[in-house]
Copies of this chain bind each other. A is one copy, B any other.
Amino acid sequence: MRRLDEVRGMATLPDVAQHAGVSTATAARALGGYGSVRESTRQRVLDAAEVLGYRPNVLARSMITGSTQTIGVVISDIENPFFRRSLRGITDTARSRGFEVLLANTDEELEKERSAVSLLAARRVDGMVVCPADAGDRKHLREVIASGTPIVLLDRRVSGLAADTVGIDNRKAARLATERLLSLGHERIAIVTGGTPEIRERLVRPDMRGVERLSATTVGSRAAGYRDALTAAGITMRPEYFSANGFRREDAVSEVHLLMDLPQPPTAILAFDSIQSLGALQCFRERSIRCPEHVSLLGFDDAEWADLVSPPLTVVTQPMYEIGVAACERLLDRIGGEQRSPVHDRLPTVFVERSSIGPPTHG
């Protein structure tokens, strides 16, 4: 009775139409719920569809309508607490609005980002949420936007790109965190940024020229906030307290070791994300350094384990899930045709004081 159905288990619109004794156009109208169809006909078509186990071919539909009801998400690493929580916000929101999510990891590598973006574009996603690599050119993003596919930037702002951005005020958050450390009496404060040596280079030169340009990146902004606080307190920034040698946990571990090996090791460390915090904690454990007695640790992002490590970590919290939600909503609005010029949402951060910071021990 139904040929195609037997081949690949798929009945098509013509099959349904024939079974219901109507034209494909009518069947499509009945199924798609548009146009006008007499109730009795409608029912007949629906029944036929039911009987045949008909499932519309979304691909064919997309080809015509031009919409795939799919968004692409390009992030550096799903395993990073910030991204995975945000991703959950994105997927939940997308889902509730009838969109699917295509996922791609970049591991902070520009090349992977490029190919991911290009592949997603080829898949005709209706839009993308991307957390752009901290440096490098943005031609690929620009092209996508130019071709009419909206992009919303997550976490990181890119100057000169016609894209909405959702994140926090990184500079301010870092300044506040640093100030808290300062108020405790710390003067030797190091930052473990998880950034790349290149970024570091531009940030540590005497005049700090280029900080403004770099404030387009998270690391740059936070480093700038750190500098703001130090400067205001009349403290000179020491290049050796500026660590930026990779975003992985192992990178952080070795960087903190280096820090603690310094003739004048820092009395406090500000970690720029939860992976870096974990690395610092691991280093402390390896050296039997007591925290906060020997050194204070303040981190970004309230990971699920932050209150259960020892000592419980004091953190600057970003509303990770909400950032994802907001980013997705912005994107969906754009996809829906919203026109206004790019907006940059800055969600509020919260300072959660636990016990990993305390007054410095000078020795």
| Chain A residues in the interface with B (C-beta under 8 A) | 8-10, 53, 55-60, 62-63, 66, 68, 70, 77-79, 84-85, 87-88, 91-92, 95, 100-105, 118-124, 143, 146-148, 249, 278, 281-282, 285, 303-305, 307-310
Pick the contact of A59: B53, B124, B304 (CB < 8 A).
Answer: B124
Report which of B63, B70, B95 forms a contact with A63, defined as CB distance below 8 A. Answer: B63
Known A58-B123, A59-B62, A85-B79; contact A9-B147, beta-carbon cutoff 8 A: yes
Ranked nearest first, the 9 interchain pairs of A and B with the lowest CB-CB distance are A9-B147, A310-B310, A305-B305, A308-B309, A281-B308, A103-B103, A59-B63, A58-B122, A9-B148
State the number of copies, please. 2
Quick check: B100 and A102 within 8 Å, CB to CB?
Answer: yes
CA distance A148 to B8 in the complex (A): 6
CA distance A143 to B282 in the complex (A): 48
Determine the distance from Cα of A84 to Cα of B85 in the docked complex, in whole angstroms.
Answer: 11
- Give 5 A-B pairs besides A55-B122, A59-B63, A101-B103 with Cβ atoms closer than 8 angstroms: A53-B147, A58-B123, A59-B59, A101-B104, A278-B305
By a CB distance below 8 angstroms, the chain B residues around A101 are: 102-104
A–B complex contacts, Cβ < 8 Å, 22 sampled:
A8-B148, A9-B146, A10-B147, A55-B118, A57-B63, A59-B59, A59-B63, A59-B123, A59-B124, A60-B63, A70-B102, A79-B84, A88-B105, A95-B104, A95-B105, A100-B104, A100-B120, A102-B102, A285-B308, A303-B305, A305-B308, A308-B310
A59 touches B68 (CB 8 A): yes
CA distance A104 to B53 in the complex (A): 23
What residues of chain B lie closer than 8 Å to A143, measured between beta carbons?
53
Residue pair B309, A147 in contact (C-beta under 8 Å): no
Residues from chain B with Cβ under 8 Å of A10 in the complex: 147
Q: Is the CB of B78 within 8 A of A84?
A: yes
Q: How far is the CA of A105 from the CA of B324 in the complex (A)?
A: 15
Q: Are A308 and B278 in contact (CB under 8 A)?
A: yes
- What residues on B are CB-neighbors of A124 within 8 Å? 57-59
Docked Cα-Cα span, A8 to B249, in Å, equals: 43
Q: Are B307 and A55 in contact (CB under 8 A)?
A: no
Shortest distance between the CB of A47 and any CB in chain B (Å) = 18
CB neighbours (8 Å) of A62 from chain B are 59
Q: A311 CA to B55 CA in the complex, in Å?
A: 53
Could you tell me the distance between the alpha carbons of A59 and B121 in the complex, rounded to whole angstroms?
Answer: 11
Q: Is the CB of A78 within 8 A of B88?
A: yes
Contact indicator A8/B147 (Cβ below 8 Å): yes
CB distance from A286 to the nearest CB of B (A): 11
How long is the Cα–Cα vector from A174 to B109 in the complex, in angstroms? Answer: 40
- Report the Cα distance A60→B66, complex, angstroms: 11
Report the bound CA distance from A309 to B285 in whole Å: 11
A98's nearest neighbour on chain B, judged by CB, is: B119
* Bound CA–CA A19/B249 (angstroms): 51
Which of chain B's residues have a CB closer than 8 A to the CB of A8? 66, 147-148
Residue with the highest number of chain B CB atoms closer than 10 Å, among A91, A104, A249, A304: A304
| Docked complex Cα distance between A282 and B77 (Å) | 27
With A78-B78, A100-B119 as contacts: A282 and B305 at CB distance below 8 Å: no
Which residues on the B side are within 8 Å of A91 (C-beta)? 78, 103-105
**Does A56 lie within 8 Å of B309, measured CB to CB?**
no
CA–CA, A85 and B59, complex, Å: 31
Q: Which residues does chain B contribute within 8 Å of A78, judged by CB atoms? A: 78, 84, 87-88, 91
